[in-house]
Amino acid sequence: MIKMISISCGTLGLALVFLLVVIFTLSEAARYRLKFIIFLLGCAFATTWPLPFMFLRPRDWRNALIPAWQLRKILNLLGLRFVVQGQENVVKKSGAVIVINHQSGLDLGVLAELWPVIDNCTVVAKREILWFSGLFGLAAYMWGTIFINRGRGTNAQDALNSTVEVIKGKKSKLMLFPEGTRHSDSILKPFKKGAFHVAIAAQTPIQPVVVSKYYFINDRRKKFGSGTSYIRILPPISTEGMKKENLEEIMNKTWEIMNSEFQKINGEVMREIDRKKME
């Protein structure tokens, strides 16, 4: 079994090296598409082959550590590097709702970077992913994903209740993208209320995380270059004593903090890019 895995990994490694050589001989548009194909295939491989080992500790967040490590290496091969800042701000003594700005499918790399740093992480996904995405759905179940029915009425309330129970009972850190949609704008989109409903109901802090813009990617021009993105973990925002009536207040406060930091970190990145061009 181990020998077969090592052969498979070696074969995959050689294939990736070959593809990377091919990438640099292609046009920019073809390079853009091929890099995303490698990223998606790499994600599928990284999340599914460790499945046999996940059965040793089912529904445990640590089952995602190996897939996360592999995903980080795949992104490095594609020329992407993430730098995590602000680890001293990570909530330690309780659960938390982690809110992250949303830019691209490459945000999976952000989750892969944060997973070992924050500890005891989980995410929310539609229940259809569990039933209809094959081995990936099973892997997601094994690392503790909270699956919900995104229906109306009682289903939505049940989903909220089950999520709150996990955060409070297991002191889990729930990672969410409150903008709800990917974008490459210079200002954050308005937040949706779900993350803040959960945080108030669980009476757990909100942990804002800001990721700098992916200046090395341009979907319109079909450009996928190399570069560095910064992941900045900000101090937690307390929800202690808050009720539903405070939802808009805490949501707007969080948006203001994150958007201000988004402008700041992007300015820092642009100055770094300009400095490198001058060298």
Q: Render pLDDT for 152-190 as a digit per residue (tens, 0 to 9).
A: 555 656 777 888 999 999 999 999 999 999 999 999 999
State the average pLDDT for the chain. Answer: 90
Residue 203 CA to residue 192 CA, distance in Å, equals: 18
Q: Render pLDDT for 199-254 as a digit per residue (tens, 0 to 9).
A: 999 999 999 999 999 999 999 899 999 999 999 999 999 999 999 999 999 999 99
Q: Given a cut of 70, is residue 192 above it in pLDDT?
A: yes
Q: Given a cut of 80, is residue 11 above it in pLDDT?
A: no
Residue 244 CA to residue 248 CA, distance in Å, equals: 9
DSSP state of 236: P
Across 29-33, 41-45, 52-56, least confident range = 29-33
Which domains occur in the chain, in start order? 61-278 (3.40.1130.10)
Q: How confident is the model at residue 48 (pLDDT cuts 50, 70, 90)?
A: very high
Quote the pLDDT of residue 23. Answer: 61
Q: Where are the alpha helices (DSSP H) in the chain?
A: 2-23, 28-48, 51-54, 65-77, 107-118, 127-132, 135-142, 154-170, 194-202, 247-278
Query: Does residue 42 contact residue 74 with C-beta atoms inside 8 Å?
Result: yes
Quote the pLDDT of residue 4. Answer: 47
pTM, rounded to two decimals = 0.90
Residue 185 CA to residue 10 CA, distance in Å, equals: 40
80 Cβ contact list (under 8 Å, min separation 6):
106, 109, 216, 226, 227, 228, 229
116 Cβ contact list (under 8 Å, min separation 6):
65, 68, 69
Q: Render pLDDT for 149-160 as a digit per residue (tens, 0 to 9).
A: 766 555 656 777
